[in-house]
Amino acid sequence: MKEMLKKIKEEAMNALSGVTGQTELEELRVKYLGKKGELTAILKQMGKLSAEERPQMGQMANEVRAAIEESLAEAKEHLDAMALEAKLEAETVDVTIPGEKIELGHRHPMNIALDEMKEIFVGMGFEVLEGPEIEESVYNFDRLNTDEGHPSRDWGDTFYFTEDSSLLLRTQTSAMQVHAMETRELPIRIVAPGRVYRKDEVDATHSPMFHQIEGLVIDEGITMADLKGTLHTVAEKIFGKGTVTRFRPHHFPFTEPSCEVDVQCHECGGKGCRVCKGEGWIELLGAGMVHPKVLKMSGIDPDKYSGWAFGFGLERLAMRRFNISDLRLIFENDVRFLEQF
Ligand code: DAH
């Protein structure tokens, strides 16, 4: 029996020293220490031994069991360590590999131009208003003193939703003047940027959708001098100190008198060049003193209050500002173009 115990111990130690996986380890544990294992089988034969031999063999069997258990534990520890090492190896991060570049987006040139304009006007105490692009004709035309039959109401120029021409895609941000007069307490000092729509064919200078920024000031004692002073200051902020402005008589139904404002060409100083198409002047915007009828229609007393308004095209401004020669580039959203700003 002594020999058998010795043999079991040797075999077990041998087997355990070469163990390569957790399943094999468990199989060996069952083989030697399990209920039907080899050591148990021997212990079952203890009854056959003499009274003297029994304690000796018992002690030896215990020692063998203890030795095998210890080896099992060691083998398990070794296997766990190997597994951890393999896992760490597989998950190694090579910090020297160049990182993947994350492309950061940025503002569209139109938004850059718009933000600049907002900043200028907010700095002068104006409030920024936004309003609907789907508009009632009453706001887009009637209450701006533009009656039925006026050429700008033509079906060939305007996107109408209804047969009776009562609902449309706004053709001008001027509609926001009426909303401002309706919702704001006097005095009013607002700018309203946004999209407008007209039935224009797409070309280098036209698009059926474009952006305008509207302005409206109403208070007691407002005069044309305020309009000139403010718009000249704005022109200087956009094009630089010393910019020369020109106020030309014009006609709009909602202002009286009306004017168009030009800036002297910054490229040639007024001599005429490619940028100003030989004119020496660049048209900037339409403006004028708010027509008394327009004030009256929105419940403002024209004998007490007066005001001025303006509207300009933002694309034209952005194109000038960034030297963009074709309007279509602004809306195509080709990243090769947009990346340049
Ligand atoms: N709404 C005009 C347009 O689209 C621009 C304009 C002219 C706006 C004169 C105004 C103004 O407020 O007073 O052509």
Q: Which two tokens stand for residue 117?
A: 């304009």
Interstrand relation of 127-128 and 188-197 (parallel, antiparallel or unpaired): parallel
| Beta-carbon-side half-sphere exposure of residue 234 (alpha carbons within 13 Å) | 28
For tokens 């308004």, the residue is 309
pLDDT at 267: 80
Average pLDDT for the chain: 91
164 Cα to the center of ligand 1, angstroms: 25
Atom 2 in ligand 1: residue holding the nearest Cα: 311
Contact assessment for residue 196 and residue 210, using Cβ atoms and an 8 Å cutoff: yes
Is a pLDDT exceeding 90 seen at residue 136?
Answer: yes
191 Cα to the center of ligand 1, angstroms: 12
Cβ–ligand 1 distance for 135 under 6 Å, the answer no
Q: How many CB atoms lie within 10 A of CB 213?
A: 23
Best residue for ligand 1 mutational test, from 226, 252, 255, 312 (most atoms within 8 Å of Cβ): 252
Closest CA to 231 of 114, 321, 175, 312: 312
241 Cα to the center of ligand 1, angstroms: 25
259 Cα to the center of ligand 1, angstroms: 10
Is a pLDDT exceeding 80 seen at residue 26?
Answer: yes
Is a pLDDT exceeding 80 seen at residue 43?
Answer: no
107 Cα to the center of ligand 1, angstroms: 27
Q: What is the pTM of this model?
A: 0.72
Give the DSSP letter of residue 44: G
Atom 7 in ligand 1: residue holding the nearest Cα: 286
Average pLDDT over residues 35-39: 82
- Alpha-carbon distance of 13 to 17, in angstroms, equals 6
Q: pLDDT tens digit string along 280-297?
A: 998 999 999 999 999 999
Q: pLDDT tens digit string along 157-171?
A: 999 999 999 999 999
